[in-house]
Structure 1
Amino acid sequence: MDTSTVVPFSAHIPPSLAHAAPPSAAERELAQLRARVRQLSAELVQAQEAACRHVARELHDGVGAELTATRFALAGVETWLPADAPPQCAAALAVANRSLDAVCTASRQAVAELHAPSLEAGIVGALAQWTGDFAARTNLRTSFVCAADVRLTRLPTDAALAIFRVAQEALNNIAKHARAESADLRIETGRRHLTLIVSDDGIGLTRTARSRRGHFGLSGMQARCAAFDGTLRISARRIGSGRGDSGTASRGTLVQARFAWDAMLASAPGAERRALQS
């Protein structure tokens, strides 16, 4: 049974319209619909990035300051604690400090995730560094393989950021939900499309996950693909399911995000919007 989820980038053209209008008119209508989808998707992505920057500032300036104040308060309590205080007091302070350390680490990681990455070294360098950090942080065996394609060095910042964010969300989902031991990231390139492939050897897609709609992370990945004439496909895959394997073959998840080269290498979305409005 097919358990894949395909998120298309273009709207459906009713058969009646396709037969009633001349081919050239239908093609123009389809091009306008696709351009509109790209425009709206680009606006959604820009709004998401603005929200990420705002949340990162609030975490750093607001939550970070409160955590620092809490650390000083706990240090003061530890200093003022009488020498003959029950040992339970020192144990409770140790637990509070460990919890505070964990919250501070999580807060710093969240701020780092929310900030846009440095893309000075290009998308390949950014993904290579991030996957290395991801592997060290999660203890997952993680590999990154990328096709040798000179077009990767010419990607505009908005296109490179879209690819990075989709890879980041897919890998984070593996760490949070997949119960996997390994994760693999791969970039394949063809004449018309760049395909980002993320796979794992975890528990795969559950029935609940397949039926769920409106998931924030998934909608963000969808919008980033749609902004560049792309598609997002998420499917469950079976690992080691050949006839000679045991019946306890593990399952995994496969994410395939496709981006059109023409859309990525074209003008920035803002220029496209001005052209549409003229």
Structure 2
Amino acid sequence: MDTSTVVPFAAHLPASLEREGLDASAAPSTSTEQEVARLRARVRELSAELVQAQETACRHVARELHDGVGAELTATRFALAGVETWLPADAPPQCAAALAVANRSLDAVCEASRQAVAELHAPSLEAGIVGALAHWTGDFAARTQLRTSFVCAADLRLTRLPADAALAVFRVAQEALNNIAKHARAESADVRIETSRRHLTLIIVDDGIGVTRNARTRRGHFGLSGMQARCAAFDGTLRVSARRTGAEHGHTGYGCGTPSRGTLVRARFAWDAMLAQAPRAQRHALQS
């Protein structure tokens, strides 16, 4: 004779769950959701730490370039000026020509150093992300001679972005445009910010040679790790793909349509994470 007692699983639920009217099937689901939420929070935390380390490294390199390399370049310029002054009138013309070449090379190095320092320093975000990106894309176009446009959605939330969130969007756009200038052999680049109820999406497209699968997965190539970390720090994602007609206009079928030259970068950030109050220490580290 079977004398065992069948006890409903719900009888083992905590009293708090019983009071809330949750059945047994809901308990595992709730536990799984909590674990997923915990892991996502950990990803955000680690990504933010990586971004903070990158910004710290950028500031250090910028100081070294400005204080160390900058001082040496200035000393070299004075030395060349002295040689030019002391050069006798009957010196061979090759001497003057060599000095001219040295001065042109020095000018180029000084300009490259100045530009590097400017890019390594965090941008001024007093005008918000829209003003910062508009200014930087204009400077990028003048510097590279690439046709560059910037279009932004009219969304009041863009004016309320905390500095760390605005900096993340700016750095992704900056890295993507620099990659275009270095690798794409493009003639034009377009930057656009789109917004939806849940996400801010940054889109950068060019008409260059495109990107291959190997290039997308090659370790360290295109600075993807830093761009991905900046997106992940705000519950976002980064997608880099070969550009296809219609893809940059929000179509999801990347395999559809007539192929077009170039690369599409789509960086997505979650509004909830971006507008959340950032920890004071993290925000200070990113802005200082």
Coarse TM-score class (shorter-chain normalised): 0.7 to 0.9
- The match for 1:245 is none
Aligned residues: 246
> For residues 34 and 271 of structure 1, do their structure 2 counterparts lie closer, same or farther at Cα, with a shift above 3 Å needed?
farther
> For residues 25 and 198 of structure 1, do their structure 2 counterparts lie closer, same or farther at Cα, with a shift above 3 Å needed?
same
Consecutive unaligned residues in structure 1, runs of 5 or more: 1-18, 241-248, 273-278
Contact 2:243–2:260, Cα closer than 8 Å, also in 1: no
Structure 1 counterpart SS, 2:190:
strand
Q: 1:165 aligns with which of 171, 178, 182?
A: 171
2: distance between equivalents of 1:200 and 1:188? 17
- The match for 1:154 is 160
Letter in 2 for 1:171: L
Identical-residue share of aligned pairs (%): 88
1:85 and 2:91 are equivalent in the alignment? yes
Runs of 4+ in 1 over 2 A off after TM superposition: 213-216, 269-272
Letter in 1 for 2:180: I
Which structure has the bigger radius of gyration? 2
1:135-157: CA deviation from partner (whole Å, max 9, x where unpaired): 11111000000000000011100
> Could you say which structure has the greater relative contact order, defined with CA pairs below 8 angstroms and 6 or more residues apart?
1
1: distance between equivalents of 2:278 and 2:50? 15
Q: 1:102 aligns with which of 100, 108, 111?
A: 108
Q: 2:30 aligns with which of 2, 21, 24?
A: 24
Q: How does 1:1-278 map to 2 (within 5 A)?
A: 22-206=28-212, 208-215=214-221, 217-238=223-244, 251-269=261-279
What TM-score, normalized to structure 1?
0.84
1:193-215: CA deviation from partner (whole Å, max 9, x where unpaired): 00000000000013541341233
What TM-score, normalized to structure 2?
0.82
1: distance between equivalents of 2:85 and 2:72? 20
Structure 2 counterpart SS, 1:198:
strand
Structure 2 counterpart SS, 1:217:
helix
Consecutive unaligned residues in structure 2, runs of 5 or more: 1-24, 247-258, 283-288
Structure 2 counterpart SS, 1:221:
helix
Structure 1 counterpart SS, 2:243:
strand
> For residues 27 and 239 of structure 1, do their structure 2 counterparts lie closer, same or farther at Cα, with a shift above 3 Å needed?
closer
> For residues 271 and 265 of structure 1, do their structure 2 counterparts lie closer, same or farther at Cα, with a shift above 3 Å needed?
farther
2: distance between equivalents of 1:250 and 1:97? 43
Structure 2 counterpart SS, 1:22:
helix
2: distance between equivalents of 1:146 and 1:137? 22
Letter in 2 for 1:266: A
Contact 1:42–1:269, Cα closer than 8 Å, also in 2: no
Q: Please give the root-mean-square deviation of Cα atoms over the aligned residues, in Å.
A: 2.0
